[in-house]
Chains A and B, each alone.
Chain A
């Protein structure tokens, strides 16, 4: 993809701005970025990335609103989002369900927009769970194809889903 400013160099910096619900994207090269005074950090350690993302999420207090409830904690391990912000790791597998809403944007950012597993499945997984997972994954791919306006692929995926569901 070419730089939108100079139309010569390859675009290696991709900026997305969301303002008043409107999303604009900019794809530019390093030279033009420097000229525009846009500073880009070369390598953001993943912990920093995660805490930075969590920082823009509404805090548990804000979400609790005027009722001022206690910070939600995982019933299994007692972990809270505040602790995750500090430590960068979760307390137990159940946290992924309890804090799903706060974690999804982080997961999307860390994994190129993906949020569903489509790799190896443990052999001990029950057969119908495997089937369920395959269909979930196909559905996610279908959503992406429709978003990208790749209708040919979308049609193929829909056929696959229909076959798998039989």
Chain B
């Protein structure tokens, strides 16, 4: 299994499908575990780390996950490949640039990945499109059970699953959703959302790391408390309280834009379309923001029946049976394929930033100006 088998495709969890997908782009649950009888990684020698790596790799590769799985030796693969895996949300930046023997086990459909020797011995994660936290929870619990049949976890009756950092002990569970909140930003209400999240002990990060601006208006929101609550309770709280409230906020902001500031909305969408269809040089940062406005326009039409001159024009480009097809899947595919590591892997060689900006613009122009024979 080569990395290039993945690089040209859209990840299944990012294809615009799933419940509430106009705001909740994807759901992810991750569990942190350590094997009993070993120290945490900060105190392990490279020999011990290699031993842990081999043990866990053998266990994971023997599992029946209903999907083809392959192993990547993260410490031995190139920086470009590691960046690619980070871009695709398959490993964390911490894992990509960590030290010592470490690896990743990845499902072909990219809905399951496991990091070995990141901050803990093992971190497994399950991803799904849209809001599907309950389904993620069931699946990851089952995988966790399968792993535990073959290996013993470090566990303490009082503090639960043992993790290197006390912020992860207990359940070791990190539940997170990727949210698209362009209207909250456009109406100046994003700070309120961030404060609400802080009040509810939720961590919010812009996409691609802590403290960075939210590229493409995408936010990753996750629980911070992992001890003294059950896994099911956290999932229920997300599904029944937290997510409905955020959806209400973002939808209210979208409706406000539509009724009170349709010109601002149309301006953002029109500029996005014009620039993306015509620019010859475009940075990743700019492309992601413009794609966010197109995503907003498409979703507002599909989920709210919104109708403005710019939204209607965009819709004509998306409608089935037409010569051009722009769907949410296309937007998300462009998002992924024009990221720096993706560009270079698909091009077959490394590129400097200027060449990347040219190639990115070319790929986007080509996708948004496609002219095929009309269907009869």
The chain A residues found within 8 Å of chain B, CB to CB, are 12, 30, 42-43, 45-46, 50, 76-79, 87-93, 96-97, 103, 106-107, 110-125, 129, 132-133, 136, 140
Asked if residues B199 and A12 are in contact (CB atoms below 8 Å), the reply is yes
Complex Cα gap A50–B210 (Å): 17
Given A89-B164, A106-B166, are A117 and B158 neighbors across the interface (CB < 8 Å)? Answer: yes
- Measured between C-beta atoms, what is the minimum distance from B294 to chain A in Å? 29
Asked if residues B229 and A122 are in contact (CB atoms below 8 Å), the reply is no
- Measured between C-beta atoms, what is the minimum distance from A2 to chain B in Å? 14
Asked if residues B119 and A119 are in contact (CB atoms below 8 Å), the reply is no
Complex Cα gap A77–B38 (Å): 10
**Contacts of B96-139 to chain A: CB distance below 8 A:** 119
Asked if residues A129 and B157 are in contact (CB atoms below 8 Å), the reply is yes
Given A110-B224, A114-B227, are A96 and B159 neighbors across the interface (CB < 8 Å)? Answer: yes
Complex Cα gap A57–B39 (Å): 25
- Measured between C-beta atoms, what is the minimum distance from B89 to chain A in Å? 21
Q: Which residues of A contact B204 (CB under 8 A)?
A: 43
Q: Which residues of B contact A106 (CB under 8 A)?
A: 166
Asked if residues B43 and A96 are in contact (CB atoms below 8 Å), the reply is no
Q: Which residues of B contact A123 (CB under 8 A)?
A: 145, 148
Complex Cα gap A116–B160 (Å): 8
Q: Which residue of B lies closest to A130 (CB)?
A: B157
Contact of B43 among A46, A91, A121 (CB under 8 A): A91
Complex Cα gap A91–B120 (Å): 11
The chain B residues found within 8 Å of chain A, CB to CB, are 34, 36, 38-43, 119, 141, 144-145, 148, 152-162, 164-167, 169-171, 173, 194-195, 198-199, 201, 203-204, 210-211, 224-231
Complex Cα gap A43–B224 (Å): 12
Contact of A92 among B43, B224, B228 (CB under 8 A): B43
Q: Which residues of A contact B145 (CB under 8 A)?
A: 123
Q: Which residues of B contact A107 (CB under 8 A)?
A: 159, 166, 169, 227
Which of A88, A113, A122: most chain B Cβ within 10 A?
Answer: A122
Q: Which residues of B contact A125 (CB under 8 A)?
A: 155, 157
Further contacts, 13 of them, CB under 8 A, given A45-B211, A46-B224, A116-B159: A77-B40, A92-B43, A96-B156, A110-B166, A111-B170, A112-B201, A115-B228, A117-B161, A117-B169, A119-B160, A119-B171, A120-B144, A133-B157
Q: Which residues of B contact A76 (CB under 8 A)?
A: 39
Asked if residues A117 and B224 are in contact (CB atoms below 8 Å), the reply is no
Q: Which residues of A contact B161 (CB under 8 A)?
A: 117, 120, 122
Q: Which residue of A lies closest to B151 (CB)?
A: A124
Complex Cα gap A120–B203 (Å): 23
Q: Which residues of A contact B211 (CB under 8 A)?
A: 43, 45
Given A90-B40, A122-B148, A123-B145, are A46 and B167 neighbors across the interface (CB < 8 Å)? Answer: yes
Asked if residues B42 and A87 are in contact (CB atoms below 8 Å), the reply is yes
Complex Cα gap A124–B33 (Å): 15
Given A42-B194, A110-B224, A112-B228, are A50 and B167 neighbors across the interface (CB < 8 Å)? Answer: yes
Which of A112, A113, A119, A124: most chain B Cβ within 10 A?
Answer: A119
Asked if residues A111 and B195 are in contact (CB atoms below 8 Å), the reply is no
Complex Cα gap A30–B173 (Å): 31
Asked if residues A103 and B166 are in contact (CB atoms below 8 Å), the reply is yes
Complex Cα gap A135–B251 (Å): 45
Q: Which residues of A contact B144 (CB under 8 A)?
A: 120
Q: Which residues of B contact A30 (CB under 8 A)?
A: 195
Q: Which residue of B lies closest to A97 (CB)?
A: B156
Asked if residues B227 and A117 are in contact (CB atoms below 8 Å), the reply is yes
Given A107-B227, A111-B227, A114-B225, are A88 and B156 neighbors across the interface (CB < 8 Å)? Answer: no
Q: Which residue of B lies closest to A87 (CB)?
A: B42
Q: Which residues of A contact B153 (CB under 8 A)?
A: 122
Complex Cα gap A117–B119 (Å): 21
Complex Cα gap A120–B42 (Å): 26
Complex Cα gap A107–B170 (Å): 10
Asked if residues A112 and B225 are in contact (CB atoms below 8 Å), the reply is yes
